[in-house]
Structure 1
């Protein structure tokens, strides 16, 4: 009986504390001049509703429901432990992309700094200054088309090697898992010239754990995805610091032979802070990892699903292949001929890319909608815009197209499960990894 009263007393205390914080939270937010919306539950916000929509394969429903309830232009919510205003549609895109340093600034949720060890430990002003310097000087120099042209033969060779090792020996493969491995290996090669398979494999495990925890609930107790991400972030940081210090030693001992035309070398030339260089390299790896692997996966998925799309991509890529001598690598001119294949690589922003006002039949896969002049300004923004335009957009285009060229000219493929569901977390992915059946073309 005493135990029952004790349990009731504890339950009463917990309930009172909960309602106290709830009252404090809601009374505080009601006094602010905020867009219409809901902050959801204390601490958790509306994260559960967002994750639930993703698990059901319809994350856009989370946004569309709130646009219908509050405003089609902007609404308030709370995700990842942070109060947010969500801007929707072309007007929202234009506002964000044209008001850098006026109404819009660089920002990172506090709890992610425990995981995202590539975030700089300095003032907001210092971070913005350094980011603008990177965007205006270093990144355009390394990622401009003229600089990336020289990497196309390497990209072609890497795609061939990956397919020979991980696809060709098997009748069936899971595209999503392999595309993630490929994107990470690709980044290690091009960004910092790390090519030892054992070294890449040792870094990849903790890197995956770190990235997968970026969109998890910020509960830092043992066993949670967030806790695993925090621990993995420390390991990734240590590994990357070792890479940076080793390259620094090589440059100091033999500057002529140690110079390499990769982004790590460029960063070391411009900074004596190895910690900053390490964080920036990790940031670039994270930025390219999920986005590129997801784009490759769903490009292959849609090619396999739509015969008329496959036929056009196949003919375009085979025409390029037939124009090459035996063993001749892809070049810049070849990439420019892959116009329809690039239209197939379709990415979605929920509140504009699915809007029938700008994209008739938005749920229909129709690559031809991107031919000729394409969509109206601020309606299709897969790489952002303005000062926040993704500096790696050309890097992404070259990686995706060189990979797709090699897949299409080497295999005929089909989905094992044509009705496989798509699940969303921090990015979309096939529920079972997109298992495809391979048939070598024998050419």
Structure 2
């Protein structure tokens, strides 16, 4: 009887306490001041709205509308099936750039992992993968290494223009710049020079980049389905290249040029073990996506604005001709020449301000924190975006005007111009991209004057800005 009463008492206490616990939990949850915004539709959230804004050439509007409606510092949305806190303005950029491994860590959408990584490796931590990837870059991107790439960039640009530009009166700039940047990446990353091999390897990449940020529906005919197939072909080709290079190195037949692939194959951990072939393939893919896709977009829009603004073109031509006239007949560009291209780089920066190759980057919250008075829960995703600063008149007066002088002297205020990110998370390939862009600019402006065939060509975003007709230009060769 006493035992029964004891059990009964425990049940009564539990019945009374459970509602109190639930109420306290709900009160605690409601006391968290989450960022203002909306979730949108179940599962898909506001993904379609963002995709439509991008397709219509105005992803900035998606951001600007919500900044105006909810908060200029931070708002909530739902994208790709995840709750997002979108950080805005230079303060938001600075906070996220400096919070890596403290509050946030690198995150890739699952759809991107499915496209890019070997299936067995999808469960690997992207934080670990990204940390490993960055560990290989310093040696490859040191100034002394970069200086050796400049003549290669220059000579390849000359070959490219001779083959793909000079025979024609009109060319589509966007696909041709993609062809150049991809061939350059093949040469510098893996020492692949054969044009047929470059083409065979490059075709699947167009499928991948077209479907990288797409609705993840793996149904035949969709961009996502084609991207998955393209990713599989790329990984298979990379494994073949890696195994062939390993054999060459074991037989001392490898190229004397120590490219990125060779560096990865030679590296050993404390136990003497080398990297797994699939790990190397995953990282090489990441390098290609980062270097080829964004660089080709940047070059395309530099040439777009040079064709659009004759005065700017004349100033760039003047600077580049002074460099060209100082060279011998067969002398290639070098580091000192690049340092003289100050106005040209200002033009490139202004082009990247108006048409940034990347729209921002994702992070995952690892520890709940408060920002601007709002609570950002653990597990949420964050997004910083160029849209909140690049065309904001507060930081760039008359923001739609193309004005390279914005970058003279000290240039824009910190964390307002962020095509390469910033702080500790600054893109490690920024200097590589700078050399690539300037070397190509030098060759084009000293050989052609450009005229846009369609001055009003529409721009769409997928996710980078893309001229819908490839930026068709008329070529007027220099006499």
Does TM, normalized by the shorter one, top 0.5? yes
Flag the 1:80–1:30 CA change in 2: closer, same or farther, 3 A.
farther
Which residue in 2 is equivalent to 1:25? none
Residue of structure 1 aligned with 2:420, choices 371, 383, 392: 383
Flag the 1:95–1:191 CA change in 2: closer, same or farther, 3 A.
same
Instruction: Report the RMSD for the aligned CA atoms in angstroms.
Output: 1.8
Contact 1:210 / 1:232 at 8 angstroms: preserved in 2? yes
Which residue in 1 is equivalent to 2:130? 131
Contact 1:213 / 1:228 at 8 angstroms: preserved in 2? yes
Alpha-carbon distance, 1:118 to partner: 6.5
CA separation in 1, counterparts of 2:442 and 2:179?
A: 18
Is 1:308 the counterpart of 2:345 in the alignment? no
Q: How does 1:397-412 map to 2 (within 5 A)?
A: 397-412=434-449
Q: Report the secondary structure of 2:451's partner residue.
A: strand
Contact 2:54 / 2:463 at 8 angstroms: preserved in 1? no
Residue of structure 2 aligned with 1:218, choices 216, 219, 239: 216
CA separation in 2, counterparts of 1:49 and 1:352?
A: 21
Alpha-carbon distance, 1:123 to partner: 4.2
Alpha-carbon distance, 1:258 to partner: 3.7
Residue of structure 2 aligned with 1:194, choices 180, 192, 195: 192
Flag the 1:63–1:30 CA change in 2: closer, same or farther, 3 A.
farther
Which residue in 2 is equivalent to 1:91? 91
Which residue in 2 is equivalent to 1:19? none
Residue of structure 2 aligned with 1:414, choices 444, 451, 456: 451
What are the Cα deviations for residues 242-262 of structure 1, in whole angstroms up to 9, with x where unaligned? 11111111101116x445321
CA separation in 1, counterparts of 2:32 and 2:133?
A: 36
Q: Report the secondary structure of 2:476's partner residue.
A: strand
Greater RCO, 1 or 2 (C-alpha within 8 Å, sep 6+): 2
Q: How does 1:145-294 map to 2 (within 5 A)?
A: 145-254=143-252, 257-270=254-267, 271-294=274-297
CA separation in 2, counterparts of 1:192 and 1:110?
A: 28
Q: Which has the higher helix share?
A: 1
Alpha-carbon distance, 1:132 to partner: 3.1
Which residue in 1 is equivalent to 2:55? 55
Contact 1:80 / 1:216 at 8 angstroms: preserved in 2? no
Flag the 1:434–1:230 CA change in 2: closer, same or farther, 3 A.
same
Flag the 1:258–1:326 CA change in 2: closer, same or farther, 3 A.
closer
CA separation in 2, counterparts of 1:223 and 1:418?
A: 33
Alpha-carbon distance, 1:417 to partner: 1.2
Which residue in 2 is equivalent to 1:299? 302
Flag the 1:369–1:81 CA change in 2: closer, same or farther, 3 A.
same
CA separation in 2, counterparts of 1:117 and 1:36?
A: 35
Alpha-carbon distance, 1:197 to partner: 1.0
CA separation in 1, counterparts of 2:82 and 2:214?
A: 13
Contact 1:251 / 1:259 at 8 angstroms: preserved in 2? no
Q: Report the secondary structure of 1:44's partner residue.
A: coil
| Structure index of larger Rg | 2
Alpha-carbon distance, 1:82 to partner: 2.6
CA separation in 1, counterparts of 2:448 and 2:118?
A: 39
CA separation in 2, counterparts of 1:355 and 1:118?
A: 40
Structure 1 length-normalised TM: 0.89
Structure 2 length-normalised TM: 0.82
Residue of structure 1 aligned with 2:405, choices 348, 354, 368: 368
The total of aligned residue pairs comes to 410
Gaps of 5+ in 1: 1-28
Which residue in 2 is equivalent to 1:26? none
Q: Which moved more, 1:246-255 or 1:77-86?
A: 77-86
Flag the 1:242–1:432 CA change in 2: closer, same or farther, 3 A.
same
Alpha-carbon distance, 1:98 to partner: 0.7
Flag the 1:422–1:441 CA change in 2: closer, same or farther, 3 A.
same
What are the Cα deviations for residues 267-314 of structure 1, in whole angstroms up to 9, with x where unaligned? 111133111111100110011122101100000010111111011001
